[in-house]
């Protein structure tokens, strides 16, 4: 079977985008893995499927698969690429569109300068899927947030738990370049506290308006940028009293701007989205 695809990237987080607006596409995990494979396929962190929405008032449906084949709830960098995709492929002429994911509705806005702003919805804080009381560990309050001590590699790592639709565990580090992202990241991702696993964020606070961030993503491993991870890190930093309401996030693959006015408000993300090439693959 020959499959047309578009290769895209947002701050270095890369995607294979498939158009399922003309005919349904039942993407199987094995096909998602093949498309995401950097040697035997196209290569991408995630695979995005574009569908028309059947919900009145919603323009599109947006399905997200990690390159390991698991379908997930949200992808921030992918959302920016999504709106560029539907414009470049003539699927809409509206600068602002509504898109539904597995568990959220997003509003995406293509700016005149080509950058994309996404209303990512509100953060959710009920992420603790396993009660901590089983080990007697209790959270430490800081600002308006709670830091949860999780034992990793024999010592307690303080995590702030945030869901942007997908789960994030964020910790503050002194220097992201020397942070144990590749060793500690998978241990946090698979920690028994997180039966659905989790994206592990490592945040260095440069000042109240700027952070550096690395994310060891659930399934995909460390990516060059993570949009929902940037949102989760900024929300955590604001709640814990370390950041102001508008933060530039420096990821290894590029920079995002995240704004949040506090509980009850959505998180707004602005950043780049580019098409790299169009292609066809024989599956």
The window from 70-78, 93-101, 138-146, 254-262 that contacts ligand API (CB under 6 A) reads 70-78
Q: List Cβ<8 Å contacts ≥24 apart for 139-142.
A: 142/240, 142/241
Question: Which one of residues 107, 119, 189, 217 is an interface residue with ligand API (CB under 6 A)?
Answer: 217
Beta strands in the chain (DSSP E): 2-10, 13-19, 46-52, 60-66, 71-72, 96-100, 105-110, 116-119, 140-142, 145-152, 155-163, 167-172, 199-207, 210-217, 221-223, 246-251, 254-260, 267-271, 274-282
Q: Which is nearer to ligand API, 117 or 228 (CB)?
A: 228
Contact set for ligand API, span 84-143 (CB under 6 A):
none
214 annotated binding-site participant: no
218 annotated binding-site participant: yes
207 annotated binding-site participant: no
Structure tokens at 246: 């508008």
Residue 46 engages ligand API in binding (rule: CB under 6 A): yes
Residue 274 engages ligand API in binding (rule: CB under 6 A): no
Q: Is 75 part of the annotated catalytic residue set?
A: yes
Q: Is 81 part of the annotated catalytic residue set?
A: no
Contact set for ligand API, span 159-178 (CB under 6 A):
166
For residues 252 and 263, give the distance between their C-alpha atoms in angstroms, rounded to a whole number: 28
Residue 189 engages ligand API in binding (rule: CB under 6 A): no
Closest by Cα among 216, 187, 219, 203 to 256 = 203
- Cα pseudo-dihedral 276, 277, 279, 283, rounded to 10: -20
Which candidate in 179, 226, 230, 258 is catalytic? 226
Q: Which is nearer to ligand API, 115 or 208 (CB)?
A: 115
Binding residues for substrate: 13, 46, 66, 76-77, 166, 199, 217-218, 227-228
**Residues identified as active-site:** 75, 226
């Amino acid at each position: 079977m020959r499959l047309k695809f578009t290769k895209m990237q947002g701050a270095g987080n890369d995607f294979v985008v498939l158009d399922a607006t003309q005919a349904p596409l039942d993407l199987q995990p094995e096909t998602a893995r093949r498309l995401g494979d950097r040697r035997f396929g196209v290569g991408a962190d995630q695979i995005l499927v574009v569908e028309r929405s059947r919900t009145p008032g919603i323009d599109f449906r947006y399905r997200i698969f990690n390159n390991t084949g698991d379908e997930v709830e949200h992808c921030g960098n992918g959302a920016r690429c999504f709106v560029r995709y539907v414009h470049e492929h003539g699927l809409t002429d509206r600068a602002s569109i509504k898109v539904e994911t597995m568990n959220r509705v997003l509003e995406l806005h293509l700016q005149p300068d080509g950058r994309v702003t996404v209303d990512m919805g509100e953060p959710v804080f009920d992420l603790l899927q396993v009660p901590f009381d089983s080990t007697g560990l209790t959270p430490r309050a800081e600002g308006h947030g709670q830091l949860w001590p999780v034992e990793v590699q024999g010592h307690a790592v303080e995590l702030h738990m945030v869901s942007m639709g997908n789960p994030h565990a964020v910790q503050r580090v002194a220097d992201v370049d020397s942070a144990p992202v590749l060793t500690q990241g998978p241990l946090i991702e698979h920690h028994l506290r997180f039966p659905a696993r989790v994206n592990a964020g490592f945040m260095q606070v440069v000042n109240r308006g700027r952070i550096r961030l690395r994310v060891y993503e659930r399934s995909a491993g460390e990516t060059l940028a993570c949009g929902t991870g940037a949102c989760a890190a900024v929300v955590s930093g604001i709640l814990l009293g370390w950041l102001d309401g508008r933060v530039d996030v420096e990821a290894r693959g590029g920079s995002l701007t995240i704004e949040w006015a506090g509980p009850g408000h959505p998180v707004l993300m602005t950043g780049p989205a580019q098409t790299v090439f169009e292609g066809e693959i024989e599956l």
